Structure 1
Amino acid sequence: MALSLPTGLLPAEFDEILALAEKTGAALAPHAADVDAGRSAGHETYRILREAGLLGLLVPREAGGAGLGFAGYSRVLAVLGARNGAAALGFNMHNVAIGSLCESAGTPLPPAAETFRSWLFDEVINGRKLFASATSEAGSGAKLRGVRTSYRRTADGGYVITGEKSFVSLAGVADYYVVAARAEGTEGSGEVSHFVVAADDPGVSFGEVHSLSAMYGTSTAGMVLDAVTVPRSRLFLGVEGMSLYKLVREPHWMIAGYTGAYLGIAEAILRFTTDHVAASPKRAGSPVLQRELGRMSARLAAARALVAEAGAQVDAGRGSAGANAAVHAAKYVVGETGPALAQDAVRICGSAAVSRSLPLERLLREASFASVMPAKPEECLEYLGKAALGVNLYDATAFDW
């Protein structure tokens, strides 16, 4: 199956992008079982994504990308997630790392930030470079306030970064990692910065890929930064200390960037269950099973509509109180819907749900992982409750970010 596009070229029409995502998903699907079982590291899936040209989905059209907004991206991710959930989630980590920068397209920036933005877009489009996020640390997860990785300035204006990250997706796969760190001596403050660290920078190393019960294909491992030196040009947007405040105002990438992937997994669960019932005329003619499928379809349709509404609100008013609440609601509902559909599937499909030879068993495990990804269910509900009560959601002290 030929997927490769000329460098930097993506379809102009969204329907064509969806068709490309379907074609790419079909190429990813055969790898899902082997990667999940540990028979393959999953690196082939990211080669497929690179060659399809999808790394530039969010990059503005004038820079050679597709210029997708949050809503369109969520739809594409759901298409990929329905065919290979782990690959979709790993692919999302690339877009989490660059998404906020892509959204700055058309906004005049200071010279250093403008240079950084142009460099990153060129690396993604012409270099087909894969980025990843390196934030999570032992004891604090992905919360920026808990970051202990530190940096110090060098005499020539660069930075030396030292620390350890506990869960870095695309470990050993990505070309660059966007690393969260704080200036030495600022522990506990909200001043966190991000730096772009190359996989082959001296002092960068990765541990063994974590043995996960699902999503093994995200190639998640620990990362050590042993006095890694980076030039000032790799300070994200050329500004120190603003990362937490950016997250507070516009949390959609960190909170719900991967919601589309879990929506796709939920869609795959319904598709398998429907096919299972349809394969037997007796089962297909049962009013009881028809009602069960109807309930599953309604739940999934509600989740899909909420994800679409959240995306539309982000695209129309990024950082607004309504958009920020909507992405938390979407993350919560999708995280609840997948496991609920999984329970329905087990009841309907019986032994097919536990057979390792069939994809449903893998999908059931994958769906449950939505609840451990930020924001966790209780954090989403707290945010929505505070929004309902009129709490100032832009106050960085209102939440444990």
Structure 2
Amino acid sequence: MAFDFTLTPEQERVRGLCRELAADFATRAARHDADRSVATENIDLLRDAGLFGVGIPSEFGGAGIGTVGWIAAAEELARGDASTALGFNMHVVATSATTERAAIPDDTKKRVAALAIEDGALMCAPLSEPASSSLLPSTFVPTVRAVREDGGYRLRGRKMFASYFEASEYAYFYAHPEDEPDPRAAIGMLLPTRQDGITVKDVWDTHGMRATASNQVDIDGAFVPDDLVLYRTGDFLSAFLIENAHRSFGGYTACYLGVGAGMVDWAAEHLGTRKGKGFAQEIGYHPTVSAAVGEAVVALESARLMLYRAAWQADAHGPSLETFHWFLRAKLAVGRAVQEIATRLTVAGGLNSLFKNQAYERMLRDAATAPIMPPNSLACGEMVGLLSMGLDPAQAPSLRPLEETLADPMAAAGTASAMRPTT
């Protein structure tokens, strides 16, 4: 099978534009990291650059650059400011997942595209809820309740780690319809974020990715009108994770690849130009330093090829269990690569790499979250191993469910089948 990762002229244009923006974003990244504040000026620049449609197919007025194009662009953004890249990736998830999904009518896709491109509306994509864990994929099934009313749905519940929620006009959102006994059932919708019944609690004081403002969102009576209800599914995890892997976690995997690339850039600049006291040559000539940089580069390039291979699979063959499998491998490869890069380059860089005035120190903290973001590296490794052996992840040993779950056959069935492979 032949793979061609050559970018089209439009993909190259978008990547080059993101590279230019990233250089500017980098000048403010330290301040927003320290303040735990969303870089709203960066959002404005992304909007002004015409990138709010970067994840939307061309038939709906978007850039039409596909998965490979966004992977390339997201990596560039993250080299300058990973928090901005990851936060904006949620907008790409919301707009692309909506305009690419076959189950959503074209009229709805056009409306969502117009909100993003013509109105300049920023969207986020909160998924996590209390007690969800990427080691236990079934825990991501939504429990926010959607109650049917005239003209739409009334929502009650809580979302966690809602990156860029406060900066966004809409949230690409899943809720469980109250009239549906199957816990896997969900409704995809766009929740207007600026209304009564929504409270954001500032809990995001973290080690890395501090400027994503991934706070807790409490929802008590917020309303979604019918024209913002997207579609209904009977199997949320299959619909969101398996069928949508290239968007649901493929995009932010590229953001972490960009973090690794930024760390390598820093090492090349600082270790390749700094001289030790009493020596005529740059410290990069020391064999342990050059070996560390060489190993970091190989780890980065290997992970990049794995991610591009997964992106090619998505663009060439569309959503499938095989595409999901490739993105699990890519997520694991990038998480491991970033960890290896951080270990090798921090030792090679010495204490200079840990000072707060060095961009590397911020990237080092951002890198710590790479293997944690769902599906985390342990979950990826488990599922890659099972799928590679032709086994069913739903049959793998797991934690003992609560007694009330065992007493409810429908709930037990939903938990057991949450990650069963589908075609």
TM-score, normalised on structure 1? 0.89
Q: Note if 1:128 corresponds to 2:120.
A: yes
State the match for 1:370 in structure 2.
Answer: 370
Q: Structure 2: how far apart are the matches of 1:41 and 1:293?
A: 32
Q: Label 1:44 to 1:168 Cα distance change in 2 as closer, same or farther (>3 A).
A: same
Q: Structure 2: how far apart are the matches of 1:295 and 1:361?
A: 20
State the match for 1:245 in structure 2.
Answer: 238
Q: Label 1:190 to 1:294 Cα distance change in 2 as closer, same or farther (>3 A).
A: same
State the match for 1:228 in structure 2.
Answer: 222
Q: Which amino acid aligns with 1:148?
A: T
Kept after mapping to 1: 8 A contact 2:246/2:311: no
Q: Structure 1: how far apart are the matches of 2:152 and 2:179?
A: 18
Q: Deviations over 1:90-123 (max 9, x none)?
A: 011111222222324xx6x67xx22211110100
Kept after mapping to 1: 8 A contact 2:145/2:156: yes
Q: Structure 2: how far apart are the matches of 1:43 and 1:146?
A: 31
Q: Note if 1:78 corresponds to 2:75.
A: yes
Task: Using the TM superposition, give the Cα deviation of residue 16 of structure 1 relative to its aligned residue in structure 2, in angstroms.
Answer: 1.5
Q: Label 1:148 to 1:205 Cα distance change in 2 as closer, same or farther (>3 A).
A: same
Q: Which amino acid aligns with 2:26?
A: A
Moved more, 159-168 or 184-193: 184-193
State the match for 1:147 in structure 2.
Answer: 142
Task: Using the TM superposition, give the Cα deviation of residue 257 of structure 1 relative to its aligned residue in structure 2, in angstroms.
Answer: 2.2
State the match for 1:194 in structure 2.
Answer: 188
Moved more, 263-272 or 93-102: 93-102
Q: Which amino acid aligns with 1:75?
A: A
Question: Please, which of 50, 55, 60 is the counterpart of residue 58 of structure 1?
Answer: 55
Kept after mapping to 2: 8 A contact 1:193/1:242: no
Q: Structure 2: how far apart are the matches of 1:394 and 1:96?
A: 26
**3-state SS of 2:371 partner:** helix
Q: Structure 2: how far apart are the matches of 1:227 and 1:284?
A: 59
State the match for 1:20 in structure 2.
Answer: 17
Gaps of 5+ in 1: 1-10
Q: Which amino acid aligns with 2:22?
A: G
What is the percentage of aligned positions where both structures have the same residue? 26
Kept after mapping to 1: 8 A contact 2:124/2:163: yes
Gaps of 5+ in 2: 1-7, 276-280, 396-413
Q: Label 1:277 to 1:223 Cα distance change in 2 as closer, same or farther (>3 A).
A: same
State the match for 1:351 in structure 2.
Answer: 351
Q: Note if 1:96 corresponds to 2:93.
A: yes
State the match for 2:265 in structure 1.
Answer: 271
Q: Which amino acid aligns with 1:135?
A: L
Kept after mapping to 2: 8 A contact 1:179/1:197: yes
TM-score, normalised on structure 2? 0.85
State the match for 1:177 in structure 2.
Answer: 171
**3-state SS of 2:219 partner:** strand
Kept after mapping to 2: 8 A contact 1:50/1:128: yes
Q: Note if 1:327 corresponds to 2:327.
A: yes
Tell me the number of residue pairs that the alignment of Structure 1 and Structure 2 aligns. Answer: 384
Task: Using the TM superposition, give the Cα deviation of residue 321 of structure 1 relative to its aligned residue in structure 2, in angstroms.
Answer: 3.2
Q: Deviations over 1:110-149 (max 9, x none)?
A: 7xx2221111010011011111112211111575654221
Q: Which amino acid aligns with 2:337?
A: T
Q: Structure 1: how far apart are the matches of 2:18 and 2:325?
A: 28
Kept after mapping to 2: 8 A contact 1:12/1:66: no
